[in-house]
Structure 1
Amino acid sequence: MAHPIVTRVSECFIKPSHHLSPAYSNQPIHLTPFELVFLTANYSQKGLLFAKPPPNQYFSIAEYLDCLRRALSATLTHFYPLAGRLATRKEANPPSCVIYLDPENSPGVKFVHATVNVTVSDVLTSSDVPLAHSFFDLNNAINHDGHTLPLLSVQVTELVDGIFIGGSINHVVADGTSFWRFMAAWSEMFRSNIGKNGDSIPSSRVYTRTAIEGCDHIINLPYTHHDQFIERLQSPLQLKERFFDFSSYSISKLKAKANAECNTQKISSLQAVSALLWRCITRARRAPPDTETTCKLAISNRHRLNPPLPDDYFGNPVQLVRGTATVAELMDHGLGWAALRLHEAVRNHDDTTVRKWVCSWSKSPSIMKMSGVFDPNSVSIGSSPRFDMYGCEFGLGKAVATRSGCANKADGKITMFPGKDGGGSMGVEVCLLPEYMMAMEYDEEFISALNGEIKVEA
């Protein structure tokens, strides 16, 4: 179907409902090496698709939006930095700059109301994911733009028979764990306000920023102007995106096959699925056998540090780990071999490895260029099927689907979601050039895995 036009009806800015103590609101929040390195990445864009209440049940979009705004304002009292902006302080000796989060001097979080003449079924049955791209604000913004753009923008798009709530959040300020914790708190606050139970939420939902040992000092970046490190990438116009649903049964078979091939039980479901995609995409690309190919996984350092960060740590303590092989190695060995490479890359990313990277980076700080992340022979996997996305209901019951925006998309980018049916199922969003997508959709290994027809050798 032709992409419909999304009409913006209104937009406003939302600030915390209660004034904060100067001890909090006036204090700059200094960023860690894990966060600063992502300054040129795009905002993260994730959202939920809901069905509207049935026609025989009263529903007012005006009242619903008002409740969302009030709940958002109350939630921001507990997550006040999201209503702030980034700021830069220039230093003369040596010439450098300090980029930090300023909780004040901002109009707040942006809230957009939009409409579009499509149905929930249109979104669910469309073979092209980009139908959902216009359900998000701040397309193509990079994290450094948080100096002048809101750190969080929410777009509520009214469909003919549904509601899409999409969040675009500065990826320096929050990773997926933090974003979905905020969304859960907002959803919980929405239900609380509806029930007239005040504006409190459990302490597990409140913003927490714990100092990370070795990362608790102010970092001077060796730049005198942002043009020295800013890079803006545009996704290829011909990029194809597809959303695939892996049932819990198909994933259990895939995991069993990977572990059986390696005579182990160490390989996780996520590692097995990642290895499958790495193999199938590499096969579709038909690169020469001696070409090096890499599978990159975004993983959280929360529980890899010693001592570990608390579960409610709010920030972006994420890094990439890599499994590497030649095309010949990846094709000549089985699924288990590839999955074990990824398992070992994750296992080896421990406290020692993380702190060694922090020490090295701190001696010579630099900003990562996304063109180096999305190289032609790599697969890059982000987000997680472990996030409780479907637990965020906003008074509309369980979402019928999750989707992402156009941010950080390139050939070989994969985004993981929990499956809509639960029980260990997964949703997988794949971005590839058209010829590669066509080849993968006809790949026998991929089709067999998707349908749960993979044979597990005893």
Structure 2
Amino acid sequence: MLNSCEEISQIKLISECFVTPKNEVESSNQPHYLGPIDLALLSLDQMQKGLLFPSKPKNIKSHLLDKFKNSLSISLVHFYPLAGRLATQKFHDEHAIWVYVDGSKGPGARLIHASVDDLLCYDLISSNDVHPIVRSFFDLGEKAVNHDGHTRPLLSIQVTELLDGVFIGFTMNHSIADGTSLWHFISTLSQIFLQLDDNYDGPKENAIMSISHRPIFEPFFPVGFGPILKLPFLEPNEFITPNIDIGPLREKIFDFSSTSISKIKIMANQECGLGHHTISSFQALCAFLWISVTRARNLEPDQETTFGVAINFRPKINPPLTGDYFGGFIKRAHGTCNVGELLGKGLGWAATIIHELIIGLDDKAIRAFLNRLIEAPFVVQPNMTSVYYQPNSLLIGGSTKFDMYGPEFGLGKAVAVLAGYGNKEDGKVTANPGREGGGSVDLEVCLRPETMNALVLNEEFMSFVSYI
């Protein structure tokens, strides 16, 4: 494998620029408020997701990049906070700060054009583990935490040329958006791209184009709170942890076909005894993975293991919110048990725990959590993300419901969704829809090397995997 220096040396920067909204946006002159979940993520990594396309135009500048730049400029009219920067107001007498987005601050969103020699799409797809060069397809491999949005772009897009294709990597600050909002933006950008003529640089009045869903900028606060939420700090070193070395990890993508998932679901429902189809396909798959990874870790029966899943709570609050609400609307549900119980009681028992965790995160639980967070604000630290305070964890992020293969940018359907370095740790799993559709799922799994070695040698686990 390449080391980090070799990875970056392979990437050639061709050009970069900053893009602002095509039209003046009156709302950008007002503060964009951050919700309590947004503020809690200031010390964590940004989101990084990218699409691999197995084709590229002969003249990539005129047929892709110029049009992409125009599309981005128009998209930022709708998603105007992404062109701004974070800003902080201090309240010295309270030893507190207020962090918000200043839409008039900074040069705009970053657009990078890069290339890599001697690399084919097949090299990325066929790599045994996630290819180490992928992390350099996002912001040229530069690392940052969300708080760095004070001086760095809140949105950065890198278009990297391969020998036979293009990788488009999106880096978005996680303190202003979650995965739902990230893919809302990417889908909108693609919609606008496909409506533009190749040489479009039209007048401002033509810049607003048809999009299917407009973002709504209303952070969610319980009644009586917001929109300003102060944090009990004054200086960044009180709540921001620099990037830490998390140690060696292996990252692999396991594909589960709809047929395999259906078999796992049937097994879980037969074992749990709660009734036919009580356990969903996703819950059953999560339980299967939790058991498999725990077994691969070779833990003692009396040790504890924790399962966590990041849940979009927009549809769970009353009244529910649509996915058009832009920001951080995620809450982690988690449960802990002994290793001996998990491995001894089986798939149905584990799936029941996960089922109860997910349905238990209802309107009452979400509002209670947000009230606690507002009454005693805190910022999650990187060393807290491992199980969120527990060892031997499995934490599921992402979503199988995102339309990841819909955005095409005139390049056809992507052949892979890949992620950068952001938010990777032992036991972190990202769930993506499988490219073939039909209910298939790709799980990007990060584990210690010895655990991953044991997992791929587990015949039962691998018998349900279509390919890796």
TM-score by length of 1: 0.94
1:14 aligns with 2:19: yes
For 1:263-342, what aligned pairs fall within 5 Å after superposition?
Answer: 263=273, 264=275, 265-342=277-354
- Within the candidate set 413, 423, 426, 1:398 is matched to 413
One-letter identity of the residue aligned with 1:62: K
Q: Distance in 2 between matches of 1:227 and 1:17?
A: 37
1:131 aligns with 2:146: no
Query: Cα distance 1:337–1:353, how it changes in 2: closer, same or farther (>3 A)?
Result: same
Q: Mean Cα displacement is larger for which, 166-175 or 307-316?
A: 307-316
Q: Structure 2: which 5+ residue stretches go unaligned?
A: none
CA drift of 1:235 comes to 4.7
One-letter identity of the residue aligned with 1:128: D
One-letter identity of the residue aligned with 1:317: F
CA drift of 1:202 comes to 4.1
Deviation per CA, 1:50-104: give whole Å up to 9, x if none.
Answer: 0115xxxx63111111111111111111111000011100013322100111111
- Within the candidate set 258, 267, 275, 1:257 is matched to 267
Q: Mean Cα displacement is larger for which, 76-85 or 253-262?
A: 253-262
**Equivalent residue, structure 1, for 2:423:** 408
Q: Structure 1: which 5+ residue stretches go unaligned?
A: 453-458
Q: Distance in 1 between matches of 2:127 and 2:279?
A: 33
Q: Distance in 2 between matches of 1:298 and 1:409?
A: 14
**Equivalent residue, structure 2, for 1:144:** 147
**Equivalent residue, structure 1, for 2:97:** 97
Helix, strand or coil for the counterpart of 2:196? Answer: helix
Give yes or no for contact 2:92–2:234 (8 Å, CA) kept in 1. Answer: no
Q: Distance in 2 between matches of 1:451 and 1:206?
A: 37
Superposed CA RMSD in Å reads 1.7
**Equivalent residue, structure 2, for 1:31:** 34
Q: Distance in 2 between matches of 1:440 and 1:26?
A: 52
1:368 aligns with 2:369: no
1:194 aligns with 2:197: yes
Counting aligned pairs with the same residue, the percent is: 44
Helix, strand or coil for the counterpart of 1:67? Answer: helix
CA drift of 1:181 comes to 0.6
Query: Cα distance 1:354–1:46, how it changes in 2: closer, same or farther (>3 A)?
Result: same
Q: Distance in 2 between matches of 1:72 and 1:82?
A: 11
CA drift of 1:217 comes to 3.0
Give yes or no for contact 2:221–2:370 (8 Å, CA) kept in 1. Answer: no
Helix, strand or coil for the counterpart of 2:279? Answer: coil
Q: Distance in 1 between matches of 2:320 and 2:243?
A: 34
**Equivalent residue, structure 2, for 1:67:** 67
1:227 aligns with 2:237: yes
**Equivalent residue, structure 1, for 2:120:** 119
One-letter identity of the residue aligned with 2:136: S
**Equivalent residue, structure 1, for 2:156:** 153
Q: Distance in 2 between matches of 1:241 and 1:280?
A: 16
1:419 aligns with 2:422: no
Give yes or no for contact 1:31–1:100 (8 Å, CA) kept in 2. Answer: yes
Q: Distance in 2 between matches of 1:318 and 1:83?
A: 23
TM-score by length of 2: 0.92
Give yes or no for contact 2:192–2:211 (8 Å, CA) kept in 1. Answer: no
CA drift of 1:258 comes to 1.1
CA drift of 1:445 comes to 2.6
Query: Cα distance 1:115–1:175, how it changes in 2: closer, same or farther (>3 A)?
Result: same
- Within the candidate set 162, 173, 177, 2:176 is matched to 173
**Equivalent residue, structure 1, for 2:218:** 210
**Equivalent residue, structure 2, for 1:244:** 254
CA drift of 1:201 comes to 4.1
CA drift of 1:199 comes to 3.8
- Within the candidate set 347, 358, 371, 1:359 is matched to 371
1:348 aligns with 2:360: yes
Helix, strand or coil for the counterpart of 2:409? Answer: coil
CA drift of 1:206 comes to 2.0
Helix, strand or coil for the counterpart of 1:238? Answer: coil
**Equivalent residue, structure 2, for 1:377:** 392
**Equivalent residue, structure 2, for 1:80:** 80
1:52 aligns with 2:55: yes
Helix, strand or coil for the counterpart of 1:34? Answer: helix
One-letter identity of the residue aligned with 2:239: F
One-letter identity of the residue aligned with 1:170: N
Q: Mean Cα displacement is larger for which, 10-19 or 443-452?
A: 443-452
Q: Distance in 1 between matches of 2:59 and 2:296?
A: 48
Helix, strand or coil for the counterpart of 1:449? Answer: coil
One-letter identity of the residue aligned with 1:134: S
Give yes or no for contact 1:17–1:76 (8 Å, CA) kept in 2. Answer: yes
- Within the candidate set 434, 437, 441, 2:449 is matched to 434
One-letter identity of the residue aligned with 1:127: N
**Equivalent residue, structure 2, for 1:455:** none
Deviation per CA, 1:326-365: give whole Å up to 9, x if none.
Answer: 1001100111211111110010011111111111121111
Q: Distance in 1 between matches of 2:87 and 2:108?
A: 15
Deviation per CA, 1:394-421: give whole Å up to 9, x if none.
Answer: 0011101110001111111111111010
Helix, strand or coil for the counterpart of 1:36? Answer: helix
Give yes or no for contact 1:188–1:201 (8 Å, CA) kept in 2. Answer: no
CA drift of 1:319 comes to 1.2
Query: Cα distance 1:186–1:448, how it changes in 2: closer, same or farther (>3 A)?
Result: same
Q: Mean Cα displacement is larger for which, 330-339 or 257-266?
A: 257-266
Helix, strand or coil for the counterpart of 1:391? Answer: coil
CA drift of 1:207 comes to 2.2
Q: Distance in 2 between matches of 1:408 and 1:139?
A: 14
Helix, strand or coil for the counterpart of 1:358? Answer: helix
One-letter identity of the residue aligned with 2:89: R
One-letter identity of the residue aligned with 1:82: L
CA drift of 1:427 comes to 1.0
CA drift of 1:236 comes to 3.4
One-letter identity of the residue aligned with 1:87: A
